[in-house]
Structure 1
Amino acid sequence: MNRRTLLLLSGAAVVAVGGAMLLTPADQPPPSPAGAALAFRGLAQRLQSAAKIEAKRHDGTLEITRRGETWVLPAKGGYPVRQEKVRELLTGLTELRLTEPRTANPEMLDRLGLEDPARDGATSTLLRVLDAQGGVIAELVIGRRRVRTQGNVPESAYVRRPGENQAWLAEGRIPVDADPQLWLDRDIANLPRERVRRVAISRTGAPPLVLTRSADADAKLQLAEPADAPPTDETALDEVGRAFEFLTFLDVKPEAEIPGEALGETRFELSDNLAVVVRPRKDGETIWITLAAEGDDEAARLNARWRGWAYQVGQWKEKAFVPLLAELRRQEEQRTEPADEAPEQPAGATDAPPPAPQAPAAAQDTPAEAPRPPQ
């Protein structure tokens, strides 16, 4: 074989390798962890008897308990949590796999965020799933999570079993949050402003107000009572109409524990035979409301969610639920009102302050002029 033949064969080999590289996908999928051991074998069957979920950290414990088919927060009077978040957590535990053993040295656990969760300043979380008798169904100390940018790479976290020093890298999603606020569905209602046809406002210590909207498609709320009221501000009226658009709460309590002083009552009449009665209360700077719906099936669904609960809403909602007449007036009208008259003064009196008293000449500090010497 001569030199030319060798060069031709080498060139062909280079072309073949290059073609193979072009035909091979650049991003190979990661190896499947299917061969790794499940963290909890047979967990799905045992979870049918789950009655409590605990997430313990050094600064507190989150508890979620089961009432019938609903998971609730005892710290919020038994208010329901986001059920899909509970399902995601429990499903994640059943699918969690221990893919790689890591350190078993207790002095190294801090680096993985797997220190004792009860220790001050610890970042780890002790997750436990218990049955109705308090028996442990599953428990795990969860440490740092590994962040991966590729979309086809599963989530992972460092974990260990309580009472053991062996750390593991586990693949799977474990959406555990120790903050109870993150488990709540904050939506109260979302009723478009166009549905509001009439609003009757009875604010404590203030004259009643009535707002109405005509049947026209583009009609806006107007102040109907009192009839002799001054011109109103369109934006302020629109805020009343939007009272239930994307309405969310900041906090929630059982209705029997609602704090504050009652501000009155407002009845919103909407299309499709729906009415909503709002009863706000003010506790310092916070606004709390209770809601009751009247009507057909839609009202029944809303009452199933609202009944028995008091919601803290934003302070600005006070002007939407129980506005005063002065808050609905056009701003220009308020600014052009004459100022209060000053009290009458005696004859000869002026607004100028009296002159300051002069000190006697002898008491003045300016020294007398010295006599001139003789020429």
Structure 2
Amino acid sequence: MNVKSVTILGVVAALAVAGTWAVLQSSPQGIAADKRGQTVFPGLISKANDVTAIAIRDNDTTFTVERRDNGFFDKASGYPTKPQAFRDLVAGAIGLAYEEGKTADPTRYGDLGLAPPGNAEKSGRQVTFTNAKGDVLADIIVGNRDNTVGGARGGTFVRFPKEPQTWLVRGEMRVPVPHTAWFEINLVNLNKDALAKLELSGGGLDDVTMVSEKKGADLTLQSPPEGRTPDSGKVMRLSFMVDPLSFQDVRKPSAEPKPDARKLIATGQNGIKITVTSVGELADGWVRIGVESTSDDSKKQADELKPKVDGFEFKLSKNDSDMLAWGMKDFTQEPKS
């Protein structure tokens, strides 16, 4: 993070505190609490720029986002994350202020969205901020929102790990969940005007080729089986796989793809070539994505896309992974009488 980014984070944090203070001074007061109006993490504003990692436990899954010199990254995969999501979480924590104490009965935690792991719908999300040394700067379990406390930002139910007491606090911590909410999941758009060819091959399944003769023309299925006609709806559905080409999870490379792995090759009118190769079982949806430029017109686009896909494996949606297994019978139908 550069100096400018650090300064921005400090300003956002300060504004968050100021906004919370103003709301507390101007809104009606409900049930009194000894801590009403006190900042939940009073020392965090001076340490905002020391936060180098945020760990999030969502039900029974934990993932960590790290701040490094050149950006923000998912610790497990090394994939870049949205910088603003990291900054918003820190600023949100700084802006929290106590409103009133709630239940200390564990059997009622679920009503506030603060149940322990094991109940996905009612489980709280534990958010832990640490510095470069691994010291914990803030640790809190975030539950449901509550809009009855007044003010534009409303309130949130929270609890601290290992403490039974729950609280309603003013302010909001925007916790990006699921995991992929941290990522820009749309890698590239090859829409109808941009797409020249789609090819499916390998995996012991049918080879399928679709071609758009000119920019903006519909894809045409090549060499359909005798006695069957192309199903234009299915042909169009395959094109949606690259409009946009997106993912639901990301990881470091695992085993190498099989020599005859199932592949989808999408070629753009400008010469860009994107190869989606299945890794492991086709039904699992994990793929590698390769990019190459076959013309001067596509070089810039390929250069921008390569860093986003090189060295990673991506999980496709079930709809997309299912389409990788389609053959000629899936893309054709019996002639209508």
TM-score, length basis structure 2: 0.69
Q: Deviations over 1:247-278 (max 9, x none)?
A: 33233332334777843434322123322122
Q: CA deviation at 1:143?
A: 5.0
Change (3 A) 1:319 1:109: closer
Distance (Å, rounded) in 2 between the aligned partners of 1:115 and 1:245: 36
Contact 1:55–1:177 (CA under 8 A) maintained in structure 2: no
Structure-2 change in CA distance of 1:41 and 1:183 (3 Å): same
What per-residue deviation string (whole Å, max 9, x for no partner) do you get for residues 68-121 of structure 1? Answer: 34333345x3333443322211111122223x3536xx9558657799987987
1:204-254 CA distances to partner (integer Å, 9 max, x unpaired)? 44675543222264x222234589896433223323333301333233332
- Aligned partners of 1:67 and 1:248: how far apart in 2? 25
For 2:334, the equivalent position in structure 1 comes to: 331
Are the structure 2 counterparts of residues 226 and 49 from structure 1 closer, same or farther at C-alpha, using a change threshold of 3 Å? same
Alpha-carbon distance, 1:193 to partner: 2.4
Correspondence for 2:238 among 231, 237, 240: 240
* Contact kept in structure 1, 2:249 and 2:314, CA below 8 Å: yes
AA partner of residue 92 (structure 2): G
* Structure 1 unmatched runs, 5+: 1-29, 337-375
> Residue 55 of structure 2 aligns with which residue?
54
Q: Which amino acid aligns with 1:243?
A: M
How far apart in 2 are the matches of 1:246 and 1:292? 16
- The 5 Å alignment of 1:208-357 reads 208-215=207-214, 217=216, 219-224=217-222, 231-257=229-255, 262-281=260-279, 283=281, 285-295=283-293, 296-317=299-320, 320-321=323-324, 323-332=326-335
Any idea what SS the aligned residue of 2:173 has?
coil
Which amino acid counterpart does residue 198 of structure 1 have in structure 2? K
Consecutive unaligned residues of structure 2, counting only runs of 5 or more, are: 1-20, 27-36, 294-298
DSSP 3-state at the match of 2:193: helix
Contact 2:192-2:218 at 8 Å conserved across structures = no
- Which of 19, 24, 31 is 1:33 aligned to? 24
RMSD: 4.2
What is the rounded CA distance, in whole Å, between the counterparts of 2:125 and 2:41 in structure 1? Answer: 18
Cα separation, partners in 2 of 1:164 and 1:94, compared to 1, 3 Å = same
How do 1:1-375 residues align onto structure 2 when only pairs under 5 Å count? 32-33=23-24, 36-41=37-42, 43-56=44-57, 59=60, 61-75=62-76, 77-98=77-98, 100-102=99-101, 107=104, 123-142=123-142, 145-148=145-148, 153-159=152-158, 168-176=167-175, 180-205=179-204, 208-215=207-214, 217=216, 219-224=217-222, 231-257=229-255, 262-281=260-279, 283=281, 285-295=283-293, 296-317=299-320, 320-321=323-324, 323-332=326-335
CA contact (8 A) 2:224 2:230 kept: no
Relative contact order (C-alpha < 8 Å, sep 6+): which is higher? Answer: 2
Report if aligned partners of 2:227, 2:334 keep a CA contact under 8 Å in 1: no
- Count of paired positions: 299
